[in-house]
Amino acid sequence: MPDRDRILAAKIGGTARRLATTAVPQDQAVTQMRTLAGDRTDLLTSELGAILGGYLARPIYAEALATAHLLAVAIGVPETGPMVEAFDRARDAATRGGYSHRQGT
């Protein structure tokens, strides 16, 4: 991967993590991610895969779920009620410093 692609991928990942754990409304966060990536949905997808892979290897970071959700919406994965609810729970847990991706835990 060329250096400019690695730099953009790092910016995408870092920006997604920041936006996913702050009070920025989701539609604004998605717009920012799409603007940053431009036509490089391959890099959005790559970052999504890396974040989900890391989460599955060590599922203790709620921020990863919120970030993965943001990236999934940015690349056009259909949004459903459960996805939005999981995102909200993960973001809330991340801001509290706790971990939970399951309802009621």
Task: DSSP for the chain, please give it.
Answer: --HHHHHHHHHHHHHHHHHHTSS--HHHHHHHHHHHHTT-HHHHHHHHHHHHHHHHHSTT-HHHHHHHHHHHHHTTPPP-HHHHHHHHHHHHHHHHT----STT-
pLDDT, residue 48, reads 87
- Kindly give the parts of the chain with pLDDT less than 50: 99-105
Looking at residue 6, its pLDDT comes to: 94
Q: What is the pLDDT of residue 59?
A: 78
Question: Which residues does 24 contact at the CB level (< 8 Å), separation at least 6?
Answer: 32
71 and 51 Cβ atoms separated by less than 8 Å: yes
pTM as predicted: 0.73
Determine the pLDDT at residue 82. Answer: 64
**Virtual CA dihedral for 92, 95, 98, 100, nearest 10 degrees?**
30
